[in-house]
A and B are shown apart, each in its own frame.
Chain A
């Protein structure tokens, strides 16, 4: 059962082959068994979860079930959920119990999905290895000496180890796609503005976007049907007609379902810095796409390299301001001892935040400070436009862009923890997508042999704005002819 698709799980529930309470209990038991080692979850609440499952069973019995009713979904601990501990991976919010529900949480609740628990993450989503979490790092189920990627590392490990049916993540610079690549499953960052940011604890507001993390594109399409939609409480939420993201999937069969599809390969994504084995896995996946009818177009995204400096100006700048609310006055950590107001602020924040978060707050404060704004922030926003323009030009030549998601496979815990710059380069292929606000997806494309272990490699698919349905079709077509996405790590 644990390897079943969401559609299959839904069918089992609909046919009363299994109840949601039974299904949820099985996942909770698996979590009890594996989580002490993998550390994918920060907060679990068996009682609350099973109450939701029981309510879902009642709904199924009443005949008002929706596709995800009764299915246990893991929620990244960045979403505020009423009554749930909501930490964002930080000591600052260790004792924070959600007083309201995020838009995403509301949507899953309304769909009847069961909240299985809150997953571990890099602190305030700042990291690419899940090593910055106050609640300890998460282990990659494929090799437990390695990181799962980040920042949605807990959700990633939970999906990979089948400790949930599917999970949510958020992606500011690659935080859904890179862990999907490193843990061998499917992850999608939608177009900025499609999924409500209300109640999603902000890291970099202009880049943050929530999306699904699941075993297949078909599963992600079902998740997208629930997650997307206008939310009046988020000024950046887009007002668009409701889409059915599963609508094109049935057509992805037969000999050449992707005939005529123009796939752009950016030269810059296959240059220096890309691990050779990863490169050949990605190339093999692209060859597979050619068999499905796709045509290859060579394109250029000349400002790719600049996306890293631009991102490491804009994201910390926004974060430095977004994280100012954590001052120990109304909620969150307050230092036990202090001399005066200033001291209370400085100690509470020094104790409540971890090293990487503090670094980014300081960088962000610096680039916004008097005399530096134009040289850093304004300049970065200008180059951001150049980067977006690169994509606009590329999409006149091709329908989707493909390439590696990450430059390498999962690295060892601690390997890059002390070198922020090396860590930041992990996001080389993913960040530009956030800067442009485009949708990006990573799907399993095979394995690379590293030190005797087979480690997953992801293929990144970048689409034009609002092209998620087509991207999911493209991923689904590949998953019809390959079985990488069904592979499970050993020992789970």
Chain B
């Protein structure tokens, strides 16, 4: 599976990272190298092997339904790029 410049542009858009045309060339070269490394996996027959997500065979612990958090808006918004009346501001969202 070889990558193209348009693949780079597509995944960069998905990942919300601006990539200029010249950067895309360099990125293509490097990512192709990494994908080449990854391709080694394809030689392994993994039929019937259960995928492993976690190293320990443990299950999800459940939290009691209690309100434990108090309002810390002032602290949290002290490091925010743009706020107004307690809201985080972003360029207009169009639906």
Contacts and interface: CB of A to CB of B under 8 A. Distances in A.
Interface in B59-90: 60-61, 63, 72, 75-76, 78-82, 88, 90
Contacts of B49: 382-383, 385-386
B31 A362 contact: yes
Interface in A333-366: 334, 338-347, 349-350, 353, 358-359, 361-363, 365-366
B93 A341 contact: yes
A270 interface: no
Interface in A377-404: 378-386, 388
B56 interface: yes
Contacts of A338: 91
Interface in A313-327: 313, 320, 324, 327
B26 to A, nearest CB: 9
B92 A349 contact: no
Nearest to A192: B55
A312 B34 contact: yes
Interface string B10-50: 01111111110000000100110111111111101010011
Interface in A59-96: 95-96
**Size band of the interface chain A makes with B:** 35 or more
A328 interface: yes
B55 A99 contact: no
Nearest to B77: A330
Main secondary structure of the interface of A (DSSP, over half): helix
Interface stretch (A37-45, A276-284, A302-310, A407-415): A302-310
B46 A340 contact: no
Contacts of A478: none
A236 interface: yes
A346 B18 contact: yes
Given A206-B54, A334-B82, A359 B42 contact: no
Interface residues of B, number: 54
A346 B12 CA distance: 9
Contacts of B82: 334
Contacts of A438: 55
A426 to B, nearest CB: 13
Interface in A428-447: 435-438
Query: Which has the most chain B C-beta neighbours within 10 Å: A308, A331, A338?
Result: A331
B36 to A, nearest CB: 8
Contact of B27 (A346, A362, A385): A362
Contacts of B92: 340-341
Contacts of B76: 99, 330-331
A309 B40 CA distance: 7
A306 B80 contact: no
Given A362-B8, A386-B49, A421-B33, A312 B38 contact: yes
A420 interface: yes
B58 A238 contact: yes
A145 interface: no
B78 to A, nearest CB: 8
Nearest to B49: A382
A342 B13 CA distance: 9
14 contacts: A99-B75, A99-B79, A308-B40, A310-B41, A313-B38, A329-B88, A347-B18, A361-B17, A367-B38, A378-B51, A379-B46, A388-B55, A419-B33, A437-B54
Interface of A: 95-97, 99, 192-193, 206, 232, 235-236, 238-239, 305-306, 308-310, 312-313, 320, 324, 327-332, 334, 338-347, 349-350, 353, 358-359, 361-363, 365-367, 369, 372, 375-376, 378-386, 388, 419-421, 424, 435-438, 465
Pick the 3 closest A-B CB pairs, nearest first. A437-B55, A381-B51, A382-B46
Given A331-B79, A369-B11, A388-B52, 6 more contacts: A192-B56, A324-B16, A331-B76, A350-B19, A365-B15, A421-B36
Interface of B: 1, 3, 7-8, 11-19, 27, 30-31, 33-42, 44, 46, 49-56, 58, 60-61, 63, 72, 75-76, 78-82, 88, 90-94
